[in-house]
């Protein structure tokens, strides 16, 4: 059977090692979906696949063992999933019966957020869907994850864009009983941003990362989360063969609108600077080639940063290179 590989991949089906077989990839923005969609996924896996489903690291589903000629039929079957998880949040897909129109920009992943987790500073599902609405469908290879607090359970530091929810703890001295529970916890488990002076909790603004653990530890409610929502945006983390590395902080103490605008602007940056001779190019390598300042100028276009916001003047991304013989010696026998 003759197939158009590019068209297959764009339609969110995978080219597999098994001749004549493909795998369907289903997007689940934020990793949260109603269980009614399981019935559709189960039917596809049992009727057209090999009876199994792989849960991907990006919180989507991959159904292997599908014949290529069944793709149109399966696309019609997943229409309710596309309508429920994409169209309902405002994603523009002209023909949901034709399946996904793009797969380059990966499924936006997110931790469970403050609907369940006491550490989370915001509703991650809501934000993942807002980001999904702005960036999908798109063919450019970009990975985005959102996490509710600096614990970073979703591994936002391994993404092109990692959104970390933070808060500015509000201290009510009148409710404080000088137990120092917040101070001790911050010293042992966080950054040591709090200290106790003259029967008052004092915060080092430069050390505070906005995790909100002091709020959870306070037995009297002297510490509360700020009404204003803040985020730290880390960028250009990656795995891969060339230069794996952890994402670095680009913006700190910014609002939701800024986060979304910066991510959206990045697509114009990619469009201008991507190496078109390649089948695809990871955005981090584009930043390496153009330099941080070119990237910064492009993604901050028409972005109005608030007074509290901070921006990195310079980023040393670091990571390591696969130079096998440089730091190793053979073991003598």
Residue with token string 């190019």? 281
Q: What's the Cα-to-Cα distance from 290 to each of 162, 294, 297, 319, rounded to whole Å? A: 21, 6, 11, 18
- Do both 47 and 193 map to the same domain? no
* Model pLDDT, residue 219: 97
Do 282 and 160 fall within a single domain?
A: yes
The verdict on residue 319 lying in a domain is no
Q: What are the pLDDT digits (tens) for 221-259?
A: 999 999 999 999 999 999 988 899 999 999 999 999 999
Same domain, 150 and 296: yes
Residue 163 lies in a domain: yes
Mean pLDDT, residues 314-333 taken together: 78
pLDDT at 326: 66
Domain match, 37 and 152 both: no
pTM of the model: 0.94
292 and 149 housed in the same domain: yes
Same domain as 278, residue 204: no
Question: E strands along the chain, which residues?
Answer: 13-15, 21-26, 54-55, 61-67, 109-110, 144-147, 161-166, 170-171, 194-197, 200-203, 223-224, 230-235, 248-254, 310-311
Percent of the chain with pLDDT over 70: 98
pLDDT tens digits for range 138-197: 999 999 999 999 999 999 999 999 999 999 999 999 999 999 999 999 999 999 999 999
Q: What is the C-alpha radius of gyration for the chain, rounded to an integer number of angstroms?
A: 23
Query: Residue 318 falls within a domain, yes or no?
Result: no
User: Is residue 146, in this structure, part of any structural domain at all?
Assistant: yes
Residue at 51 is within a domain: yes
For residue 103, tell me if it sits in a domain. Answer: no
**Looking at 222-298, which runs of residues are DSSP E strands?**
223-224, 230-235, 248-254
CATH number at residue 217: 3.30.70.20
User: Is-contact 167 215, C-beta < 8 A?
Assistant: yes
pLDDT given at position 3: 85
Q: What pLDDT was estimated at residue 280?
A: 84
84 with 185, same domain: the answer is no
> Residue 94 and residue 211: Cα distance in Å, rounded?
41
How does residue 2 score in pLDDT terms, banded at 50, 70 and 90? confident
In a domain, 253, yes or no: yes
Q: Give 95-116 pLDDT, tens digit per residue.
A: 999 999 999 999 999 999 999 9
d(CA 166, CA 233): 10
Q: What is the CATH number of the domain that holds 12?
A: 3.90.480.20
Q: Of 180, 207, 224, which residue constitutes the final position of a domain?
A: 224
Q: Which residue has the tokens 């159904």?
A: 63
For residues 255 and 128, state if they share a domain.
yes
Please give the mean pLDDT across all residues of the chain: 95
Q: CA 259 to CA 267: how far, in whole Å?
A: 14
234 lies in the same domain as 258: yes
Say what the pLDDT of residue 324 is. 58
Residue 217 lies in domain: 170-224
Tally of domains in the chain: 3
In a domain, 301, yes or no: yes
Predicted pLDDT of residue 278: 87
Write the DSSP symbol of residue 106. Answer: P
- Report CA dihedral (22, 27, 33, 39) to the nearest 10 degrees: -20
Smallest Cα–Cα separation from 145: which of 107, 116, 117?
Answer: 107
Domain end call among 224, 244, 262 = 224
Q: How many angstroms separate the CA atoms of 268 and 6, rounded?
A: 22
Provide mean pLDDT across the span 272-281: 90
Answer yes or no: do 266 and 124 share one domain. Answer: yes
Residues 92 and 203 in one domain: no
Q: What is the pLDDT of residue 169?
A: 96
Q: Does residue 327 have a pLDDT over 70?
A: no
| pLDDT for residue 1 is more than 70 | no
> What does the pLDDT look like over 33-77, one tens digit per residue?
999 999 999 999 999 999 999 999 999 999 999 999 999 999 999
Closest CA to 279 of 24, 2, 3, 9: 9
State the pLDDT at residue 322: 75
We report the CATH number of the domain holding residue 260 as 3.30.413.10
What tens digit of pLDDT does each residue of 8-26 get? Answer: 999 999 999 999 999 999 9
Residue with structure tokens 């929810």?
165
Kindly give, in sequence order, each residue whose CB lies less than 8 Å from that of residue 255, ignoring residues fewer than 6 positions away.
Answer: 228, 229, 230, 231, 306
Instruction: Say if residue 162 is in the same domain as residue 175.
Output: no
Are residues 98 and 75 in contact, defined by beta-carbon separation less than 8 angstroms?
A: yes
Mean pLDDT (whole number) for 123-150: 97
Domain boundary among 70, 98, 126: 98
């Amino acid at each position: 059977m003759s197939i158009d590989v590019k068209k297959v991949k764009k339609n969110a089906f995978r080219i597999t090692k098994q001749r004549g077989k493909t795998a369907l990839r289903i997007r689940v923005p934020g990793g949260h979906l109603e269980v009614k969609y399981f019935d559709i996924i189960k039917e596809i896996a049992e009727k057209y696949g090999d009876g199994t489903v792989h849960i991907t690291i990006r919180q989507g589903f991959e159904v292997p063992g599908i014949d290529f000629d069944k793709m149109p039929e399966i696309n019609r079957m997943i229409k309710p999933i596309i309508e429920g998880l994409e169209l309902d949040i405002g994603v523009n897909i002209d023909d949901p019966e034709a399946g996904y129109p793009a797969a380059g920009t990966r499924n936006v992943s997110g931790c469970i957020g403050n609907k369940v987790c006491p550490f989370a500073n915001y509703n991650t599902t809501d934000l993942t869907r807002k980001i999904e609405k702005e960036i999908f469908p798109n063919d450019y290879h970009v990975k985005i994850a959102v996490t509710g607090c600096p614990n970073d359970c979703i591994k936002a530091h391994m993404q092109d864009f990692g959104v970390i929810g933070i808060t500015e703890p509000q201290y009510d001295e009148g409710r404080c009983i000088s137990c120092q529970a917040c101070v001790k916890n911050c010293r042992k488990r966080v950054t040591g941003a709090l200290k106790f002076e003259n029967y008052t909790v004092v915060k080092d603004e430069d050390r505070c990362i906005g995790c909100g653990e002091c709020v959870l530890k306070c037995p009297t409610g002297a510490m509360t989360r700020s009404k204003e929502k803040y985020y730290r945006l880390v960028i250009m983390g990656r795995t891969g063969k060339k230069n794996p590395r952890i994402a670095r902080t680009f913006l700190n103490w910014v609002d939701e609108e800024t986060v979304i605008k910066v991510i959206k602007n990045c697509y114009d940056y990619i469009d201008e600077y991507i190496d078109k001779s390649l089948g695809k190019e990871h955005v981090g390598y584009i930043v390496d080639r153009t330099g941080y300042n070119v990237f910064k100028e492009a993604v901050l276009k028409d972005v109005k940063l608030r007074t509290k916001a901070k921006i990195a003047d310079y980023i040393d991304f670091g990571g390591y290179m696969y130079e096998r013989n440089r730091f190793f010696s053979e073991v003598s026998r």
